Amino acid sequence: MKIIHKAAAVLLSACITISSSALRSSFRASAYTIDNSNAPDEDVTGIYIHTVYAAAGEEIPVTVYANNNEGFTNCGVTLSYPSDLKLISDSSGSPKFTPDSAYQSWQCSANTGYAQNQVGFVISNSRASTVNGAIGTFYFRISEQAPKDTVYTMKIIETQLLDKHQDPLSYWRENGYVKITTGGAPVSSETTTETTTTTETTTTTETTATTEGRNEGRIYLSRQPNKTAYTVGEPLDLAGAAVSGFGWTNGRFWQINNELLTNHREWVDASSFRFNQAGTYTIYVRTNGCETAFTVTVAEKPVKGDVDTNGKLEMQDAILLARYIAELRDQRVIDTEQADCNSDSMIKMNDLSLLLRWLLENK
């Protein structure tokens, strides 16, 4: 046993004499560790990025994950990254991107054709995937000058996920982080636990490591109402309109998917809508402290009364209408649909009164 200890001591001594640059290079290949503690709760449908603990100069993976996946056929994600991280490209010059094994057969593309320090990917298939876990991975190299203990945010700035009907799905977004370890040295499991706890305590507002008291979210109109254009006199019709969204209220997660507004009229604020007045009106939808809106238009009723169908409303139309109502034998043939000015399916003095009033108000 003493011989073994002595041999180990000699080996350790030999390792210490290795140049610091060579030692740093060996760490770059394997020093980083992955922390998935910022994953959403199991019942939260979301897209998130893990946290990486790494040394300055290292090459690291940045993976996008799906959580509580409801089933998508198309998934597009765009993320932004700090300038201290350099995006690694493949031999063709495109971003180096590896889809997870579950998506190897899907159509896949990665692109940097976004704003500076942004990269994204799109994957699609005819059949929906409900797989949880990794979707795909980008690769970055950390700057040699990255200060120790720095925390870089890998921010998800846009997601678009569609179901098999090409309707949008609601997915919560959770950013990831790259945390620079002291000296770039490998982190032991004991140190990792301590560092993770300390970091989450000091950066709670950024990493949202705890959801206690959390109040945030968003809702959006996932389906437009069947009717958005009205004429004066028609009541507001919410049929077809649906809302989706997700978030936290007092730390408790909530999620709504394609909820019909006809079933939740208490969410709708249509106080500005005037069915008897032409104009454009904004209809607000509010729930769980979030708000979205859509607009509808109300147009004047098409004016009837052009009984001679010459494209103009004039006194001649009123004269012809009066003679028709009086049943004079020399009455010319008139357009009876145009003569029914109040659209009650009868041609009477009320129609003549409406036409005369319009002519007087618009002379």
Residue pair 97/111 in contact by the 8 Å Cβ criterion: no
In a domain, 11, yes or no: no
**Where do the DSSP E strands lie in the chain?**
33-35, 46-49, 51-54, 59-67, 72-80, 85-87, 97-99, 107-111, 118-129, 133-142, 151-162, 172-174, 176-180, 216-223, 229-231, 242-249, 252-260, 268-269, 279-287, 290-299
Same domain membership, residue 175 and residue 116: yes
In a domain, 235, yes or no: yes
Burial 283-294 (b: 16+ CB within 10 A, else e): bebebbebebeb
209 band by pLDDT with thresholds 50, 70 and 90 = very low
Could you tell me the residue range of the domain that residue 247 belongs to? 216-299
For the ranges 12-16, 124-128, 358-362, the lowest mean pLDDT is seen at 12-16
Last residue of a domain, one of 181, 207, 233: 207
In a domain, 21, yes or no: no
The identity of residue 17, as a single letter, is: T
Same domain membership, residue 200 and residue 254: no
Look-up of token digits 């996946």: 69
Report pLDDT digits (tens) over 340-361.
Answer: 888 888 898 988 888 887 788 6
In a domain, 7, yes or no: no
In a domain, 18, yes or no: no
Q: Phi and psi at residue 3, in whole multiples of 5°?
A: -65, -40
Number of compact structural domains in the chain: 3
Last residue of a domain, one of 148, 174, 207: 207
pLDDT at 169: 84
Q: What is the CA radius of gyration of the chain?
A: 34
Same domain membership, residue 220 and residue 202: no
Burial 152-179 (b: 16+ CB within 10 A, else e): bbbbbeebebbbeeeebbbbbbbbbbbb
Last residue of a domain, one of 183, 207, 231: 207
3-state secondary structure of 359: helix
Report the pLDDT averaged over residues 1-19. Answer: 40
325 band by pLDDT with thresholds 50, 70 and 90 = confident
113 band by pLDDT with thresholds 50, 70 and 90 = low
Indicate whether 5 pLDDT > 60.
Answer: no
Look-up of token digits 């109402």: 225
pTM over 0.75: no
Same domain membership, residue 347 and residue 282: no
Report pLDDT digits (tens) over 28-86.
Answer: 444 789 988 778 777 788 899 999 999 999 999 999 999 989 899 989 899 999 999 99
Instruction: Give the separation between CA 206 and CA 214, rounded to whole angstroms.
Output: 12
What's the mean per-residue pLDDT of the chain?
79
Same domain membership, residue 93 and residue 179: yes
